[in-house]
Structure 1
């Protein structure tokens, strides 16, 4: 069975849904049958797949309906064909797939918890700011869980710090799509992924990333030029439309109005930015915000490296009235 057709979650339903961004979006889902209960959506980041949630999902599926999409253009869901790779467009397409899978409509609405790591976290941030736009189609975002990022505008603005930009050189590199695809193809996409995953904080974290042959899965997906280009287009959108939208958001006072849990690596994002203070400026006044710094040398890949801590904090957060 090829990776394109394999299900990483055999106990969940595997779905393939056409979307307005042109992608045939692959997702894994489970519905516990409570139409009043929220759907927990979990979106992966770079350079990985939905397989990153494997340590967490088994403990959640008995409590929540879940929807776990494969990002368009990351090797399993087909690429975006419209040319719009913005978080707004891709996120809206992911919600379209969720609506189709769960038969959501204005007459049969569902609450949704927006959850994501890395690029997935950026999509959830965008969808959270735009939450009221989806009420008309039956989707009511009720909370956001964002793992190991600061907002895209903040990330780019602090690139004036030489130490910071050195650690995140891949942002401007990947955003130069044609050059990046050629260079990564020459270097080897799989080899590049294996290098990127060394951003794990320590040996324990690395062993958790490697569990279940996950690194081989991620590396194989990035051997395809289609994946290299699709993921680079994602970064190009961050440097373009995504940044512009967040500039406009801040000018207009459009901020997250959902209860929000942010978790960041204390040794990574937490050390390079004052995440608790940064995120306060991106959440509406009076809105619940919890920012957790994950210590013990944990690196960027929180859903794998620190899956026990992430699960504990998620369950604690979701146990509130969301």
Structure 2
């Protein structure tokens, strides 16, 4: 009998951890620690995926920077927590703080829903556990949640992201996805992949992992609750942030699919108002037909930029 997905170590070269947190969630993560004083890079996955999305990128980073790669609560491997980005982010940082000793610098990186958690944590940087200092943010293929909802007045955007309002209606969505098949639904989400043939090949082995996780009702429900928070409290917090002038205050890179998100929105302009004036910020389009799943489809391009960003952040020295 094959090992259950929730028990697998997707990264044999890393330590697999199971860490209880004050949120009530038990966070599964994969870590590599280069020792006290060395910076930690988070790699936080999105929907409808798992930490396996980082399988191509991790080998390029191993030995260069300490790594914290969590499984999102509610997505089938870590147990659920309150689903707002602030609550999930706090659970992840609590696990990180437990696993890594000493005062540490943290660079936040995430894709999709994971990038939204990183955005929240970057704005809330002053509230991080006392042994952690957030010094950078690397966000993959998103615009701020409030901006995404505002752009739904464009029919093409509303059609392309129809799953947002659907999944936010939890009870309706859970029933519909169960009837349709959670794994079948997850497979269909990869319509957001690009047209680059090599990129699509890089996705293939991952899709089967994600489909296997979404065959479980608890994953359907947990992920829908994520989207429900994204239609409620997450937006309310961002509205308050902008009204009160709370923005990202650490160096930030946003990478995005030129053929996907970049074809629908001016990503560079959208983010400019969410980063404090004078803070280094760069928006980087990824071309060549790569789509939404950049950590897999375009892992070589992402890795190169990620390593460059780490080197540019003051005080970060890579081995």
Q: Which residue matches 1:45?
A: 46
Given the alignment, which residue of 96, 99, 107 partners 2:97?
99
- Per-residue deviation, residues 221-266 of structure 1 (Å, max 9, x unmatched): 0000000000000000000000000000000010000000100001
CA drift of 1:216 comes to 1.0
Q: Which residue matches 1:301?
A: 293
State the distance in 1 between where 2:21 and 2:178 align: 28
CA drift of 1:163 comes to 1.1
Given the alignment, which residue of 235, 243, 248 partners 1:243?
235
- Give TM-score scaled by structure 1 length: 0.95
State the distance in 2 between where 1:141 and 1:233 align: 27
1:47·1:218 contact (CA, 8 Å) conserved in 2? yes
- Per-residue deviation, residues 256-290 of structure 1 (Å, max 9, x unmatched): 00000100001111111111111110000000001
CA drift of 1:155 comes to 0.2
- Give TM-score scaled by structure 2 length: 0.96
Q: Does residue 288 of structure 1 match 2:280?
A: yes
Alignment of 1:1-322 (within 5 A): 1-33=3-35, 35-80=36-81, 84-103=82-101, 108-134=102-128, 137-202=130-195, 203-210=197-204, 213-320=205-312, 321=314, 322=316
State the distance in 2 between where 1:216 and 1:280 align: 37
State the distance in 1 between where 2:153 and 2:232 align: 18
Q: Is there any run of 5+ residues in structure 1 with no aligned partner, and where?
A: none
CA drift of 1:204 comes to 2.1
1:37·1:64 contact (CA, 8 Å) conserved in 2? yes
1:79·1:226 contact (CA, 8 Å) conserved in 2? no
CA drift of 1:37 comes to 1.9
SS at match of 2:249: coil
1:198·1:206 contact (CA, 8 Å) conserved in 2? no
RMSD value, Cα:
0.9
Moved more, 146-155 or 17-26: 17-26
CA drift of 1:20 comes to 2.2
- Per-residue deviation, residues 124-181 of structure 1 (Å, max 9, x unmatched): 00000010112x5211000000000000000001111111100000000000001101
CA drift of 1:19 comes to 1.4
2:192·2:260 contact (CA, 8 Å) conserved in 1? no
CA drift of 1:51 comes to 0.3
SS at match of 1:32: coil
